[in-house]
Amino acid sequence: MKRKLFKFFYLLLGAMVLLSCKDEMAATITEEPLKDIAGTWRIVTLTRNGEDLSQRIDLSKFKILFDANGNYTMQDKMAFVVSEPGSYKLNDPQYPSGLILSPQGKTAQSIKLQFPVIEGKRQLSLTLSPGCAGNTYQYNFVREN
């Protein structure tokens, strides 16, 4: 009789333990935040077809400033897909894969975008082919502010 009572007690205890667990992770609603690229971005690396050009070209002066109102300006000149200030937007605010730059009075240009975190800092990686489709440039920027 004691044996049956212990079995019943352990079964009851086991059922209580299993039924009392809640799947809190499944109940947690997570939403990907909108990506914000507003700020001043400076180039940290530049590659052409995988070859690092950072040592050959002075990258220290070229910066892109994206403001919170959807406008951009550039400091200094460099071979880039646009040369005039204008407006910008991400192709998808939550999961962007492209940046659309619309210079004032000119045709909008779409650029492949990645937004990785490298060494604890958010970077902006833009891949483009200005002019010759055989040359692919990758500009890697880090936010200054």
Using pLDDT thresholds of 50, 70 and 90, give the confidence band for residue 16: confident
Q: Which of 79-88, 94-103, 119-128 has the highest mean pLDDT?
A: 94-103
Q: In total, how many domains does the chain have?
A: 1
Write down the mean pLDDT value for the chain.
87
Tokens of 36: 């914000």
Instruction: Specify the pTM.
Output: 0.74
Report the CATH number at residue 131.
2.40.128
Q: Which long-range contacts (CB under 8 A, 24 or more apart) does 69-74 make?
A: 72/101
Pairwise pLDDT comparison (87 vs 12), residue with the higher score: 87
How are the residues of the chain apportioned to helix, strand and coil, as percentages rounded to the nearest 5? Answer: 15, 40, 45
CA distances from 56 to 102, 134, 139 (A): 29, 20, 14
Range of the domain at 80: 39-143
Q: Per the domain annotation, does 83 fall within a domain?
A: yes
Q: What is the pLDDT of residue 23?
A: 64
